[in-house]
Amino acid sequence: MDILGKTYKVLKGFCLAFLLMIAQIGCQHFDEDADRSIGGEKNTFKLAYSLNWQVITIGTFVDNKLVDEQYITSSQNPNKYASGDLKPSWSKSGDYIAFMRTISGSATGQGADIRTTVINVNSLEIKELTAGNFEEYHPTWYRDGSNRIISDRLTQGVGWSTMVSHLDAQPGDETIVPYGLVATSVLMDGTLICSGDNTGLLSYNLDEEWPQEREFVLDVPFPENVQLHTPSVSPDETQVAIAVDFSNFSGTFAGINFVPDYSVFNYDEKLIYIGDLDKENFTITKLRNITSEKTDLSYGVGYPRWSPDGKQIVYHTNINGKFAIALYEIATKSTLVITGQDQHRLYPCFQNSPM
């Protein structure tokens, strides 16, 4: 299958990839110490995330425990049962957070008014970068400090395309990336890392003016009908975390019996893998499942993002009922749920860590 064929296959699988109001199931812990801090040293870090699919929130953590929350936005969607402010991305400087703002409708891929929006973390001044004529998903900063922002635009009847804007830009100034790509991470050289099919991740570089998109090929492909979503590249650009989607796959993989779900997107049919990224040879090798404790479809995982030092990955999971934030330690290969069950907390990202 040629690249354009692969792109079509990926985009087709994404049409229902944004239904966010998911039934909450499952009530279990990773282990008996899941609510206690790991390690003996004090460590403090901040995460941005969406609270209850409505509010962009900054959480402060000490020794892997949530000690403070600051709500920095409020939903502008008059329908409080639909999505509001979602999917934050924190700039490299730490001064700005980009997010997707639902003005009307809901983030389900059905033609809502969703805009790429930026908030100044210090002044709380908010600026919209797109006009709201489309659905804009996955806002993500370039990691080179240029204050460029990408988002993935869904146009009804047309499909997906990645847009590039800038902190100082106005709605309508954004540049469209050729090909129907869905990018969620950017390398220092400007290469966009995009979702892909079972064989690898697609990429494109506007700065280098590549004549066509290229694929980072997996050394061991996943089964057919499996798709690779929301990739996040480590700060040193040697590894990539991927949410692997099995919702169109029928069969057993990683000890789980997957049943196709063509009507509804949910995180129950995802696993999170990390692999070694070779930028020179466009390969991804040594994939390993960091959610190996997941053995059935009773709960979901998704949206992995790296820490600034590359030693941790956060993602969301509803293993205990409501969606909470899980922290994976690269060195110890251990996972800890670091938020409780009082609210849904989704789409976490670290401070100063563009995806």
* Tokens coding 306: 């790296």
Measure the CA–CA gap between 77 and 206, rounded to whole angstroms: 34
Q: Which H helix or E strand runs over 155?
A: strand 148-155
**In the structure, what pLDDT confidence band is assigned to residue 37 with cuts at 50, 70 and 90?**
very low
Reported confidence tier of residue 6, pLDDT bands at 50, 70, 90: very low
> What's this model's pTM, rounded to 2 decimal places?
0.88
* Residues found in the chain: 355
Q: Are 138 and 161 in contact (CB under 8 A)?
A: no
208-217: Cβ within 8 A, 24+ apart = 212/3, 212/179, 213/3, 213/7, 213/178, 213/179, 213/181, 214/3, 214/282, 215/3, 215/6, 215/282, 216/240, 216/277, 216/282, 216/283, 216/284, 217/282, 217/283, 217/284
Contacts of 153 (CB under 8 A, 6+ apart): 130, 134, 135, 136, 137, 160, 161, 162, 163, 176
Question: In the chain, pLDDT over 70 holds for what percent of residues?
Answer: 88
List the domains of the chain with CATH numbers: 3-350 (2.120.10.30)
- Check pLDDT > 50 for residue 24: no
pLDDT grade, residue 264 (50/70/90)? low
- Token readout for 263 is 């009507």
pLDDT of 26 > 90? The answer is no
In Å, how far are 13, 247, 260, 312, 317 from 226, measured between CA atoms?
Answer: 9, 7, 10, 25, 20
Residue 176, strand partner residues: 163
Percent of the chain with pLDDT over 90: 75
Structure tokens at 40: 């003996």
**Cα(334)–Cα(350) distance, rounded to whole angstroms?**
18
For all residues of the chain together, what is the average pLDDT? 88
- Which of 184, 167, 166 is CA-nearest to residue 175? 166
Residues 79-89: pLDDT tens digits?
887 899 999 99
* Structure confidence at residue 7 as a pLDDT band (50, 70, 90): very low
Q: What is the pLDDT of residue 39?
A: 37
CA distance linking residue 112 with residue 207, whole number of Å: 31
Per-residue model confidence (pLDDT) at position 4: 40
Determine the Cα–Cα distance for residues 152 and 146; give it in Å rounded to an integer: 19
pLDDT at 162 over 80: yes
Helices (H) and strands (E) in the chain, counts: 1, 26
Q: Are 174 and 168 in contact (CB under 8 A)?
A: no
Q: What is the pLDDT of residue 9?
A: 44
CA distance linking residue 291 with residue 345, whole number of Å: 18
Question: pLDDT tens digits, residue range 309-333?
Answer: 999 999 999 999 999 999 999 999 9
Q: Between the ranges 32-41, 79-88, 244-253, where is the mean pLDDT highest? A: 244-253
Asked whether the predicted pLDDT for residue 59 surpasses 70, the reply is yes
pLDDT tier, 292 (very low <50, low <70, confident <90, very high otherwise) = very high
